[in-house]
Structures are given as structure tokens and as C-alpha cells.
Amino acid sequence: MIAVFFGLFGLIVGSFLNVVILRFGERSVGGRSSCPHCGTQLRALDMVPVLSWIFLRGRCRYCKVRISIQYPLVEAATATFFAAIGASALTVAQLVLALPIAALLICIFTYDLKHKLIPDIWVWIFIALALLYGFLNSQFVILNSILSGPVAALPILFLWYLSRPFTGRAGQWMGFGDVKLALGLGWLLGFPLGFVSIFLAFIIGAVISVCILLPLPHILHFCGIRTKEGSIGLTMKSEVPFGPFLIAAGAIAWFMIMYNIQIPLLIL
């Protein structure tokens, strides 16, 4: 029952996260929601999380233009995260930190996927909350909590800097936002899971990159993925954000800790 409550709460929060993601850097999150295409103000029935998108078949009720699948996916992901967190054995203090951390990770995941950029304000808030969360976790000693972040960020920092000799400028292979994100994940997960999750992110990234390089034009078109030239599909030269892979790997490790699940890949 507690999972249902947190899941429903997550649906509401997820709907707000969509507003934050779409309006960040452009306009205030306040004000009535409207169709981005025709500008018609939306009614309450048009904004029921997940269900409205399904019943409207992914189109605006008024202008019939297709609505991004981002809306139900973010709402469903937030509901799933919140339900899993609420059903875990976290203390009240950890729970208070875990919910905004999950919301921030979903925002960063989606924004980086769309814009290939991690907003500084979001990642710095995540880092601060992750550090506090790490200190609250009784299995981490103080020294472990402090060092786990830099240790996890070190491989990403190395790749960020290593691109300088080859391209003439640091950050061509890996953005510095990924370095900061890895720092926060290290503090969130502690050592060794924070460090190992970084390598899990590379594995996830390699598998997914191979999949999206396959000739799957219909799936790519449905997801709205296009190259800069406008053609369907991706090439070896296409820019792929690494933040979502870091977050996916971090989420797997985080929920393993919450539910005391052991996976051979993450056992040292």
C-alpha cells in the first residue's frame, strides 16, 4: 500500500518534472500549461499523468499534433522510482533526501538526452544531496563517504582531460558535466559501488550504442532521433550523451543497496 501511495505521488511529481525540463532556461515554470504547437490552454482532463497521453493517442486534443512520448515516460519513471523508494527500508531522513535525488536524476537524464547538456544548477544540487545521503548511510565511514565521490569521478575526469592531446581541447570526448555527475553518484553509492557503477555505465553505453547503430529506422523515427543532416539513424560520428548511461548504472546500483540485492557484476 505504501508503494501505491508513493507511486501516485510520483505521477504528480513526474508531471511537474516535465514542465521543469521543457521550460528550463526558456521561461518560468509558473503559469497554465498549454499545447506547445497551437498554444491552447490545457484542461485538467488533458493533463492526467500517463492516462491522458494514452487516451488521446499521443496527440493534442485540439490541433491533433503529435505529443512527445517524453511526457508519459517521465511520469511513469518518476512513479516507478518513488514507489520503489517508498517501499524500501530507508529511514525517514534518507527518504526525504532520496525522493528529490530521484527527481533530479530523472530531470538530468531527460535533459541531457534531449540537449546533450547537464544544467549546472541541477547537478550541483544533486551533488549536495548525494553527499548528505552518503553521510546518513550508516555503512559508510566518514573517510569512505568523502573519498567515494572523487574516486568514482576519476575515470571520467581522466577521459575528459585525455581528449586534449588528440583534439586540442579538453572535453571533446566527455563533458565536464559527466565528471560532476559521477562525483555525485560516487557519494550517493559509496565505495566500491560508486566506482563500479561508472564501468557499468560504459557497458550499458556500449550495448545501447551498438543497438541504435543498427538499421532500425522505424523505431528511431518514433523516438524522434535524427542526425544533424536530418536523416533517420545515427552514425559512428553522432554525438551521444553519456549522462543517461551514468544515471542508469547508478540507479541499478542504488536500488541494489536499498533492497540488499547482490549481482555478480557488482561484487568485489
Cell of 244: 543517461
Give the whole-angstrom CA distance, residue 265 versus residue 268. 8
Cell of 153: 569521478
121 in the same domain as 205: yes
Question: Of all residues in the chain, what percent carry a pLDDT higher than 90?
Answer: 51
Question: What was the pLDDT predicted at 222?
Answer: 52
Residue 263 has pLDDT above 80, yes or no: no
80 in the same domain as 112: no
Residue that terminates a domain, selected from 38, 68, 87: 87
- Across the range 136-164, mean pLDDT stands at 79
Contact 236, 214 (CB under 8 A): no
Q: How many domains does the chain have?
A: 2
Give the whole-angstrom CA distance, residue 191 versus residue 202. 18
What are the C-alpha distances in Å from 178 to residues 125, 164, 245, 246, 264? 14, 16, 10, 8, 26
261 in the same domain as 136: yes
207 in the same domain as 172: yes
Residue 13 banded pLDDT, cuts 50, 70, 90: very high
Give the whole-angstrom CA distance, residue 216 versus residue 214. 6
Range of the domain at 265: 91-268
108 in the same domain as 68: no
Question: What was the pLDDT predicted at 126?
Answer: 97
Give the whole-angstrom CA distance, residue 135 versus residue 143. 10
DSSP for 178-244? HHHHHHHHHHHH-TTHHHHHHHHHHHHHHHHHHHHHSS-HHHHHHHT-B-TTS-BS--TTS---SHH
| Cα dihedral across residues 212, 168, 149, 95: positive or negative | negative
Question: What was the pLDDT predicted at 223?
Answer: 52
The model's pLDDT over 44-80, given as tens digits with 9 standing for 90+, comes to 788 889 999 999 888 888 888 888 899 999 999 999 9
131 in the same domain as 16: no
The model's pLDDT over 97-130, given as tens digits with 9 standing for 90+, comes to 999 999 999 999 999 999 999 999 999 999 999 9
264 in the same domain as 141: yes
The number of beta carbons lying within 10 Å of the beta carbon of residue 24 is 15
pTM of the predicted model as reported, rounded to 2 decimal places: 0.86
116 in the same domain as 32: no
Residue that terminates a domain, selected from 69, 87, 105: 87
230 in the same domain as 98: yes
The model's pLDDT over 225-238, given as tens digits with 9 standing for 90+, comes to 454 444 445 555 56
Give the whole-angstrom CA distance, residue 87 versus residue 259. 9
80 in the same domain as 97: no
Three-class DSSP category at 78: helix
Question: What was the pLDDT predicted at 232?
Answer: 44
Question: What was the pLDDT predicted at 189?
Answer: 92
Residue 137 banded pLDDT, cuts 50, 70, 90: confident
146 in the same domain as 17: no
109 in the same domain as 196: yes
Residue that terminates a domain, selected from 32, 59, 87: 87
